[in-house]
Structure 1
Amino acid sequence: MTLNNKVKFIQGNQAVVEGAIAAGARFYAGYPITPSSEIAEGSANRLPQVGGLYVQMEDEIGSMAAIIGASLSGKKSYTATSGPGISLMSENLGVAVMGEVPCVLINVQRSGPSTGLATKPAQGDVMQARWGTHGDHGIIVISPSSVQDCYDLTIEAFNLSEKYRTPVMFLSDATIGHLKEKVVLREIAPEEIVNRKQPNCDPKDYQPFKFQDQEDGIAPLAAYGSEYVFRITTTTHDERGMANSTPANADKFIRHYTDKIEKNKKDITIVRKYNLEDADYAIIAFGCTARAALEAVNIAKDKGKKIGLLQLVTIWPFADDEVREVLKKVKGVVVPEMNLGQIIGEVKKINDYGIPVEGLSRVDSLMITPKEILDKIEEVEKCL
């Protein structure tokens, strides 16, 4: 089969829309908010062209509820917002976790807290993405660093959501969302698309949360309106979806929401490695800051300095093994991020090697530059 690719010069937010459609998404519900509004606009334009549906809701609370309902009706669904909207979606995010509902939330980050600097970039929603809804649970969070990523990784977000029956957060930012670059809108082969497992049992025997007899630990999910009649509840429930508050049942399912993510980290986690083979120092970065970090690595290479980069494409679950591999090989690490140190804490937790791990933070809405990163590495070098 011959696949057709299209080359476009578009914004990151526009590439997200194209990635969602390529992944098979056919329902969007949202409420416009800077700097994500182009995703709503693009979805309103593109979804009807492919037989999909766009709904502008009254607020972000309703938006999250709508994509949960659409997903349970069998449609791949998504929404887009920024930090304040994620705050409003957080309760229903927990509903999606509890109901194991596949869906994708796109957060185009801006400076906060509250209204903050509405048109300026930031990376301050890392912990909100991980713990934005109450209770123990696993979550998958992916962060793009280019417009091409906005296309490719949106497809990956939907695939992971469908495979593991979980909400996935796509953690972009105002810089990447509004950046224009050349992007290849690759035609995706059918075998590259993951769709949720369907039940094949007798309808009367269907249990929507019976994961124990599945090799991958993920229960099949039927669609509302099909011959498989089932219910979803926000209360702790059993395999049938019926409320069950016994300690044994609560323990089983609460652990399951985390285990299905953590036990599959090798399949879920994506990192990119640059010049780490013989590096003396390493940078650990994500999102738009990874662009500056890569430029810093290239500048250092031209000067004969051995500096490498570990780019965290998957932020959650955290890439512990890959980070440890870097920590045990280098003399020091710098973690640049446009927040006051939300990722560096995770790095320090697993630094069992006694090397310096230093942060580089900006929260003034300005981008971290390659020079700032190289200057910080020099500071670390002088302390040894």
Structure 2
Amino acid sequence: MSGELKLLKPGTHFMMGNIACAEAALIAGCGFYAGYPITPSNEIAEHMSRRMPQLGRHFIQMEDEIASIVAVCGASAAGVKAMTATSGPGFSLMMETIGLSAMLELPCVIVNVQRAGPSTGIPTFVGQGDVMQARWGSHGDYELVVYAPSTVQEFFDLTIEAFNTSEWLRIPVIVLSDEVVGHMYGRLEVPEYDKIKIINRKRYSGPREEYLPYSSETLVPLFVAAGDGYRIHMTGLTHDERGYPSLEIEDSHKLVERLVIKVRKNAKNLWKYETLYLDDADVVVVTFGITARSTEEAVKRARSEGLKVGMIKLLTLWPFPEDPVRVASQYARRMLVAEINMGQLIHPVREVAECPVAGINYPVGYVPPPEYILDGIRAAV
């Protein structure tokens, strides 16, 4: 269309987190967005409804969250980068089809701007109660990747990273934000476009009669889009390399093992985290999302009191970054896990830590003030 608006210009911006997420998706190449309104993610859909047509791309408001994630999978099957955004109740409704996306190896991005729960909870208040659901919400054996931003900049960066990871491994990737990160305004640095890494799924271009949609020769099969002229078959049933349903143990083993191993073998390349003051830390606080901001201030205050405290901020929640947590625990007397829930991330920390682990839990709906976390640190020293 004449006079269409271009991508967000490189440079410095002051922007809401949800809007930064939407603009990052456009830069990453998102060509299809399907969603249903839900607080506190609405700004993403609203922004995309305006920007996608400006760029000649496709936005559709569906009748509910189930239809939204199904439409996203359909667009991905047609070879288009696709995403949706939601929050707690809508995220629950999407679970079955997220599992279908993993089974069919259809790349897509799901943004969950967490709110206070359970159930309807407090729609306009913050929460971090979807950590386990993001990893284990759909049934069966599969692996996916979950990123958790704590700043506007990270929301932008990790949204692009989510598209890249999704395309690379042909999996659904979740960006687990929260109400405060989604609604806060902050500084955003957009690099020059040629400095931004963009990954597109690898496509098959060989003889049509030799194509196997779910070939086990590689961890990530080469992709062809529906309509490209190749024979493809997609089903949520356990299937063979052709995509046809199979009851054979060999087919089940090859398929499910590959769905899991393609993430596990690349786990170290997927881990993103930041550390602070670990060199001499007797106590290490593990945290993520908006809670990391309060935790960083609390750790700095503890240091000013002479307490040897360090911090690990996880940007990747799943696959869980077990090595940095384990190594830090080998030198610490105690680990603490700060989160806005009654204890979720603490479980994978306890699985790998070699020192005692305790939680600093805060009521859902509210961001823990630094003093609250500092009190937990003092009690642990």
- Which bracket does the TM-score occupy, shorter chain normalised? over 0.9
For 1:42 and 1:309, how far apart are their aligned partners in 2? 35
Counterpart pick for 1:208 among 209, 213, 229: 213
Residue aligned with 1:119, SS: strand
Residue pair 1:279, 1:306 contacting (<8 A) in 2 also: yes
CA shift, 1:332, in A, is: 1.3
For 1:67 and 1:4, how far apart are their aligned partners in 2? 27
Residue aligned with 1:42, SS: helix
Give the alignment of 1:249-288 within 5 angstroms.
Answer: 249-288=251-290
Counterpart pick for 1:197 among 202, 209, 213: 202
Q: More deviation in 92-101 or 198-207?
A: 198-207
Deviations 1:311-354 (A, max 9, x none): 11100011111110111011211111101110111111223x3x
Q: Which residue of the partner structure matches residue 227 of structure 1?
A: 229
2:348 maps to 1:346: yes
CA shift, 1:133, in A, is: 0.6
Q: Which residue of the partner structure matches residue 371 of structure 1?
A: 371
Q: More deviation in 194-203 or 153-162?
A: 194-203
Residue aligned with 1:282, SS: strand
Deviations 1:233-252 (A, max 9, x none): 11110111111111221122
Q: Which residue of the partner structure matches residue 22 of structure 1?
A: 27
Residue aligned with 1:118, SS: strand
CA shift, 1:222, in A, is: 1.0
Give the alignment of 1:1-384 within 5 angstroms.
Answer: 5-189=10-194, 192-212=197-217, 214=218, 217-351=219-353, 353=354, 355-381=355-381
Residue aligned with 2:262, SS: helix
CA shift, 1:200, in A, is: 2.4
Gap runs ≥5 in structure 2: 1-7
CA shift, 1:4, in A, is: 6.0
Residue pair 2:126, 2:364 contacting (<8 A) in 1 also: no
Gap runs ≥5 in structure 1: none
Provide the aligned C-alpha RMSD in A. Answer: 1.4
CA shift, 1:190, in A, is: 7.3
CA shift, 1:211, in A, is: 3.2
For 1:63 and 1:133, how far apart are their aligned partners in 2? 16
Residue pair 1:22, 1:187 contacting (<8 A) in 2 also: no
Residue aligned with 2:128, SS: coil
Q: More deviation in 292-301 or 183-192?
A: 183-192
For 1:223 and 1:248, how far apart are their aligned partners in 2? 26
Residue aligned with 2:125, SS: coil
TM-score (norm 2): 0.95
Residue pair 1:356, 1:380 contacting (<8 A) in 2 also: no
For 2:116 and 2:67, how far apart are their aligned partners in 1? 24
Residue aligned with 1:39, SS: helix
For 2:72 and 2:271, how far apart are their aligned partners in 1? 25
For 2:191 and 2:73, how far apart are their aligned partners in 1? 28
For 1:37 and 1:140, how far apart are their aligned partners in 2? 23
Residue pair 1:283, 1:334 contacting (<8 A) in 2 also: yes
Identity %: 44
> CA distance change for structure 1 residues 188 and 211 in 2, over 3 Å: closer, same or farther?
farther
Q: More deviation in 244-253 or 121-130?
A: 244-253
Deviations 1:206-259 (A, max 9, x none): 1111032x3xx2111111111323121111101111111112211221121111
For 1:317 and 1:169, how far apart are their aligned partners in 2? 12
Q: More deviation in 227-236 or 173-182?
A: 227-236
Residue aligned with 2:232, SS: coil
CA shift, 1:191, in A, is: 7.0
Residue pair 1:334, 1:357 contacting (<8 A) in 2 also: yes
Instruction: Give the counterpart letter for 1:163 in structure 2.
Output: W
* Segments of 4+ moved more than 6 angstroms: none
Residue aligned with 2:256, SS: helix
For 2:281 and 2:92, how far apart are their aligned partners in 1? 40
CA shift, 1:58, in A, is: 0.3
Q: Which residue of the partner structure matches residue 4 of structure 2?
A: none
Instruction: Give the counterpart letter for 1:111 in structure 2.
Output: A
> CA distance change for structure 1 residues 187 and 44 in 2, over 3 Å: closer, same or farther?
farther
For 1:240 and 1:191, how far apart are their aligned partners in 2? 36
Deviations 1:151-180 (A, max 9, x none): 111000000000000000100000100011
For 2:209 and 2:12, how far apart are their aligned partners in 1? 49
